[in-house]
Structure 1
């Protein structure tokens, strides 16, 4: 049973490998599926299930005390969103795997130098975002571990025993830190898996645009077809010959097919991740608010202050990478129409020009990912979430001052 995932994209490889090691991405054709599922259930309970139970009980016991409630809520809501995303990955694994395989086959099959550079730039961008996300997460977790006072746990939670006595305190402390660190890295892996899949859709659209620009390029390779016919217009007539026209039509048809497949991949991504993304945005809006409240409430503990600051940045970055990739997906889909005008269409017949016109009209319907159908993933949506979180934060401060 292999645990290392193979893919052209580094972030996809790492994210799926982490999910598999955690028990949430079963190997294909495994003879030990039952044992793996049992392992996954145990992993879920250790990382999330136990935390959800003890934090919900703690929230019930401290209900009405605003500072204590926010101290429990900011991690509780994170874990609830995390659990929902785990369930979504488990339920829709086959659909997600198909999207990943289709994108991998397209990107792996790119032969042109410009196309391979586009694939490399996509890999570099997603790798950088993932490593930044992991780094912020690691710093935050280490900060929480070091901010605990004597005989106090890093995070609030209810336990059915006295956590101030040894060895219960040491064991509970280790469980909290280990579970938080692993769960946080797992959460990053799931988020960057989604954003990387969106980035690969962007990459495929850029490859379609490149193919359209180079329809009349003698050295252009699209799919498995390579033409020995020069596709430069005649110097006398400034038009393509019938043989050249036929080759251009073949290439244009392949471009349209790839464009349609990419748009379908975007729709499949929407179907797989729209609702969980909406839930993540709704939870992130609240988390950013309560984390900012905790940040200004712990000014005496510098380590705690620093860790809450990095956690706040972490939550904002989590929303940002979704919105960033979604925004540029829409932009790249619009650029396909522009690319269609950049090859010498004026040297083609009316039939080819009509086909190009139909393609550009289709590109007016931009590819986009929405969060539950309520808001499109865009930089405008990101700013709206930040502004709303700040408004809720100021309201929370006023309520606390009155009490």
Structure 2
């Protein structure tokens, strides 16, 4: 699937979108995905190193094993009250979690990256639809004129003077491109829906656990800072996927709106009917799901945030009443 995104019809095509326009859209998409990769990895590294370094400092400052801490909880099956058992166990625990985190972050970034490029393909399709009549006129001029056409992409277009043959060819290429985007989106839905369901369930479960831990701590406790950093990182994980899922929905809907920006007045009636079919298909936006249970969109992200915050406040108030 990733290889297909680099091949026609997904590769930049100046004849379809104009000189440099599609390249600019793809470069902008690559810039955004690169920025989100750096941001996510910075958050992940900060989440892993903050509490781990705090444990190292406590070990350096004190020789009393009662003051020693593990980043992710004590390994009760081992006697870690003396060196080097403590150091070996701490390193093993930290290394394992870091290895798992590296795989999770890679999967998340690949998933969000594919969604970003599918969103970009819908933007390229929109640009193609805006230019569909002009592309037909340019193709007709190139076929009927033996001379070079100066400023071909800046010519005035009169739809009534364009033959059905060239309109039909441009319309066919546009529809085939639209169907190719829908096919690769369906393929992604088939490949990723169970994985995305596991990601959502795993993140919600971890958030519930961390909310419970945070409700037992005082605001001034340094452990609270570590939990806040880890919670923020998990929220970034879900935000990336949900944001690009929302963008795919939005851009697929915009396809129908940009049809009105095509200069179709005066063109062949059969061509106009073809544009109407494109508009009708865009009334059913592309939606990716997490195991067919929920749509991948910003509404799902906001639900997770609201649920986590409500659980935190309920547990914290309950603990405060018990202390009083």
Query: Of 158, 173, 181, which residue of structure 2 is paired with 1:262?
Result: 181
**SS where residue 314 of structure 2 aligns?**
helix
1:122 pairs with 2:24: no
Change (3 A) 1:277 1:241: closer
* Residue pair 1:211, 1:255 contacting (<8 A) in 2 also: yes
* Residue pair 2:211, 2:311 contacting (<8 A) in 1 also: no
Q: Deviations over 1:32-69 (max 9, x none)?
A: xxxxxxxxxxxxxxxxxxxxxxxxxxxxxxxxxxxxxx
* Residue pair 1:216, 1:232 contacting (<8 A) in 2 also: no
List gaps (5 residues or longer) in structure 1. Answer: 1-98
Q: Which residue of 1 aligns with 2:120?
A: 203
Query: Of 43, 50, 74, which residue of structure 2 is paired with 1:136?
Result: 43
Q: CA deviation at 1:179?
A: 2.4
Q: CA deviation at 1:110?
A: 3.5
Q: Distance in 1 between matches of 2:107 and 2:13?
A: 27
Q: Which residue of 2 aligns with 1:104?
A: 6
The count of aligned residue pairs is 296
Q: Which residue of 2 aligns with 1:240?
A: 161
**SS where residue 133 of structure 2 aligns?**
coil
Q: Distance in 2 between matches of 1:220 and 1:330?
A: 32
Q: CA deviation at 1:180?
A: 2.2
Q: CA deviation at 1:153?
A: 1.7
Q: Deviations over 1:185-220 (max 9, x none)?
A: 221110011111111111111111111111133599
Q: Distance in 2 between matches of 1:299 and 1:220?
A: 68
* Residue pair 1:289, 1:390 contacting (<8 A) in 2 also: no
Q: Which residue of 1 aligns with 2:53?
A: 146
Q: Distance in 2 between matches of 1:110 and 1:210?
A: 12
- TM-score w.r.t. the length of structure 1 is 0.68
Q: Which residue of 1 aligns with 2:107?
A: 190
* Residue pair 2:246, 2:298 contacting (<8 A) in 1 also: yes
- Mapping for residues 216-365 of structure 1, pairs under 5 Å: 216-217=133-134, 228=142, 232-234=156-158, 239-242=160-163, 245-295=164-214, 297=217, 299-302=219-222, 304-365=223-284
Using CA pairs under 8 Å that are at least 6 residues apart, name the structure with larger relative contact order, 1 or 2.
2
Change (3 A) 1:226 1:120: farther
* Residue pair 2:79, 2:85 contacting (<8 A) in 1 also: yes
Q: CA deviation at 1:384?
A: 1.1
Q: Deviations over 1:170-189 (max 9, x none)?
A: 11112222222232222111
Q: Which residue of 2 aligns with 1:165?
A: 82
Q: Distance in 2 between matches of 1:213 and 1:265?
A: 23
Q: Deviations over 1:146-178 (max 9, x none)?
A: 222433221114353212221111111122222
Q: CA deviation at 1:294?
A: 2.9
Q: CA deviation at 1:311?
A: 0.7
Q: Distance in 1 between matches of 2:166 and 2:238?
A: 45
* Residue pair 2:137, 2:166 contacting (<8 A) in 1 also: no
- TM-score w.r.t. the length of structure 2 is 0.83
Answer with 1 or 2: which has the greater Rg: 2
* Residue pair 1:227, 1:247 contacting (<8 A) in 2 also: no
**SS where residue 292 of structure 2 aligns?**
coil
Change (3 A) 1:132 1:169: same
Change (3 A) 1:226 1:115: farther
